């Protein structure tokens, strides 16, 4: 259980050099260290489970997210009838960040503070003025919950490419009347993007490319032995095409 001091407690622990394995910690870069407010006796733990993505497998965003982006565009054009012009688009993997919220109904991307006050809002890639923002999302005293079906949270690395593509499609629909069916509003466009992403995962589009050249897409494989024992046994369950290597 947390002692309520949050990050300050972590900083104090680091400053004082407190560690269960001080001799090991001295050689670990601070970016690779793990901080916590409580201790767990691992002697009573039988198994530890990880989701492989961005834990044991660290992806290179400049290549992996680009692969996901172009695969999604391909599905939108070939399977869902979007204009072939989309195939000429490019992707900036540094543009989106986690923590943003998509307003699927209005085609907006929002940045909020901890109190859910919208500080910055874009329609596609167009910055909304203060008056537009307040007229749409109210002020500090009148706020939306931002957790209903009309919103999507960008809370994983996998969301970055599809969010960028959604913003591009919002701009494209606004600036090219008739190129995207009028029956497809912003919410429908977002649903199509999500459907195209799912197609890429279901038919192996992403897995096959990663399996052909893992070093191009995966930064490193990282397995941390919590028990510090050579006799520890690891069992990896994976639905990907990557082959285990000694």
Alpha-carbon gap, residue 218 to 228, rounded angstroms:
25
Per annotation, catalytic residue among 53, 171, 174, 185 = 53
Angle CA 190–191–195, to nearest 5: 120
Which helix (H) or strand (E) segment holds residue 200: the answer is helix 186-202
Nearest to 217 by CA among 156, 154, 157, 155: 157
Catalytic annotation on 171? no
Alpha-carbon gap, residue 182 to 149, rounded angstroms:
21
Per annotation, catalytic residue among 3, 15, 51, 92 = 51
Catalytic annotation on 174? no
Tokens of 244: 């285990």
Cβ neighbours of 91 (radius 10 Å)? 20
Cβ neighbours of 150 (radius 10 Å)? 15
The CB-side HSE value for 118 (13 A sphere, CA atoms) comes to 27
Q: Coil, strand or helix: which one is 194? A: helix
Tokens of 84: 């072939």
- Residues marked active site are found at 51, 53
């Amino acid at each position: 259980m947390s002692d309520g001091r949050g990050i300050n407690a972590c900083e104090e622990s680091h400053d004082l050099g407190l560690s269960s394995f001080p001799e090991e910690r001295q050689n670990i870069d601070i970016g690779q260290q793990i901080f916590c407010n409580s201790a767990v006796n691992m002697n009573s733990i039988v198994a530890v489970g990880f989701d492989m993505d961005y834990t044991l497998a660290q992806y290179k965003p400049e290549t992996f997210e680009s692969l996901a982006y172009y695969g999604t565009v391909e599905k939108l054009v070939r399977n869902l009838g979007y204009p072939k012009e989309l195939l000429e688009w490019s992707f900036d993997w540094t543009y989106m960040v986690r923590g943003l919220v998509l307003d699927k109904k209005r085609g907006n991307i929002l940045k909020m503070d901890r109190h859910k006050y919208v500080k910055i809002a874009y329609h596609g890639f167009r910055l909304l003025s203060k008056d537009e923002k307040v007229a749409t999302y109210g002020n500090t005293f009148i706020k939306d919950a931002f957790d209903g079906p009309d919103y999507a949270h960008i809370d994983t690395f996998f969301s970055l490419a599809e969010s960028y593509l959604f913003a591009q499609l919002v701009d494209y629909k606004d600036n090219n009347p008739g190129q995207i069916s009028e029956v497809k509003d912003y919410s429908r466009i977002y649903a199509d993007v999500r459907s195209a992403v799912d197609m890429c995962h279901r038919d192996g589009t992403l897995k096959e490319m990663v399996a052909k050249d893992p070093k191009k897409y995966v930064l490193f494989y990282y397995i941390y032995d919590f028990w510090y024992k050579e006799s520890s046994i690891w069992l990896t369950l994976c639905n990907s095409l990557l082959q285990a290597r000694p």
